[in-house]
Amino acid sequence: MQKSEGSGGTQLKNRATGNYDQRTSSSTQIKHRNAVQGSKSSLSTSSPESARKLHPRPSDKLNPKTINPFGEQSRAPSAFAAIYSKGGIPCRLVHGSVKHRLQWECPPESLSFDPLLITLAEGLRETKHPYTFVSKEGFRELLLVKGAPEKAIPLLPRLIPVLKAALVHSDDEVFERGLNALVQLSVVVGPSLNDHLKHLLTSVSTYSHCSIPTYE
């Protein structure tokens, strides 16, 4: 009888020990699985892309993104940007290894200056690439074509307010583009610009080193 009781007690003890070992093993597996998942989560948050967002590189400031008129998060494009993106400016920027240039869809001398020259003048107030280059270079090249004086002079009453807007702009580069365009225009239209200079002198009076040719 004592042997039977001893044998039964031993079996209960062994069973209890076995259950404890199983619970310990299961707990260890759960802890291991949680540790692996935590490690994966840590790796995902420390990816290069996440690191760049948390700690932007110095080169990001040196290489700002150009404007994307089609971007969903970008602000509404300016009038010039909208016209350019829809193909309303008959030229496109061609990137070169040394410098950029414009490629016209047709010979510039065959184009009407109205309203193209005015539209390009409005683009001088842009501050984003490629609009800054397209407006500046397009305005200059259009004034170089044969017959430019005859085409530009009738537009002076509408051109002058647009150029003045560039000359009073808070951005120094916009002012410089506006002033260069005004000098280019004065060379082309000659004395016809004199009557309009009074509207512009106040805009450039703060820059004593700037001069606009006048004609007698």
Question: Could you tell me the pLDDT band of residue 198, with boundaries at 50, 70 and 90?
Answer: confident
pLDDT tens for residues 12-69?
455 545 554 555 555 555 555 555 555 554 444 444 554 455 555 554 444 444 555 5
Of 172 and 210, the one with more pLDDT: 172
Give the dihedral of Cα atoms 171, 176, 179, 184; nearest 10 deg.
-140
* Domains of the chain: total: 1
Residue 29 lies in a domain: no
Residue 190 lies in a domain: yes
Whole-number average pLDDT of the chain: 76
* pTM of the predicted model as reported, rounded to 2 decimal places: 0.62
Residue 181 lies in a domain: yes
Domain with 134, as residue range(s), is 77-211
pLDDT value of position 208: 43
pLDDT value of position 21: 52
Question: Could you tell me the pLDDT band of residue 140, with boundaries at 50, 70 and 90?
Answer: very high
- Separation of alpha carbons 129 and 120, rounded Å: 14
Residue 28 lies in a domain: no
Length of the chain: 216
Answer whether 87's CB lies under 8 Å from 69's CB: no
